């Protein structure tokens, strides 16, 4: 009888360890969704300014230490990506370029430039929303996160709030295409009107 009780308690101990790991993973996923929600608000700021809606937040110790959104058009700066802006702000705040134990949450998979900056800043994790098959450097087109030739590697988690992130990009580019078509149609109408006036 005593042995059966011992085995039973060992079994329960294993189950509770397994349960703790599952709850820990669920908490991490919940946290990732929370921080991605904040990155999405940054993306909305970009869209409001006519920029491609990509947002990023850099979190360290449960606190946002840097945030940014795409500003390439407004600043006419090809490096003004959301991730770069968030990393710069965090480094200034920390008074250190090394941002170890930090996670960056970004609505679109980082490009080569941004992954390079993420690696150089020694971030611990990248969490992104939707994949970028044309320029993604965290697994889609390239995978710099686990390149053994580099002296730093980091964890990458993709697909967090993927639908919400992708919808913002789709809406933005759909509106942009529609606007371009409207301008094209207006241009054709003006040309026709000019011909009519010239012919009158």
Q: Known catalytic residues? A: 83
State how far the Cα of 51 lies from the Cα of 45, in Å rounded to an integer.
8
Are 82 and 106 in contact by the 8 Å Cβ rule? The answer is yes
Residues 125 and 154: beta-carbon distance below 8 Å: yes
Residue from 34, 62, 56 nearest 44 by CA: 56
| Contact criterion met (CB below 8 Å) for 86 and 116 | no
CB 115 within 8 A of CB 145: yes
Q: At 100, phi and psi to the nearest 5?
A: -65, 160
């Amino acid at each position: 009888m005593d042995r059966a009780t011992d085995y039973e308690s060992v079994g329960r101990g294993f189950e509770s360890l397994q349960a703790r790991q599952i709850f820990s993973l669920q908490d991490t996923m919940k946290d990732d969704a929370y921080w991605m929600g904040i990155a999405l608000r940054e993306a909305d700021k970009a869209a409001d300014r006519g920029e491609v809606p990509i947002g990023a937040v850099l979190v360290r110790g449960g606190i946002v230490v840097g945030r940014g959104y795409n500003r390439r058009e407004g600043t006419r700066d090809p490096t003004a990506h959301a991730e770069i802006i968030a990393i710069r702000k965090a480094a200034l705040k920390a008074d250190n370029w090394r941002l170890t134990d930090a996670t960056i949450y970004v609505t679109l998979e980082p490009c080569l430039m941004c992954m390079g900056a993420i690696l150089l800043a020694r971030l611990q994790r990248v969490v992104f929303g939707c994949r970028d098959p044309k320029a993604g450097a965290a697994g889609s087109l390239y995978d710099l996160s686990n390149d053994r030739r580099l002296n730093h590697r980091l964890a990458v988690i993709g697909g967090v709030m993927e639908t919400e992130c992708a919808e913002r990009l789709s809406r933005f580019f759909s509106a942009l295409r529609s606007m371009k078509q409207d301008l094209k149609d207006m241009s054709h109408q003006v040309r026709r009107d000019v011909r009519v006036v010239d012919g009158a």
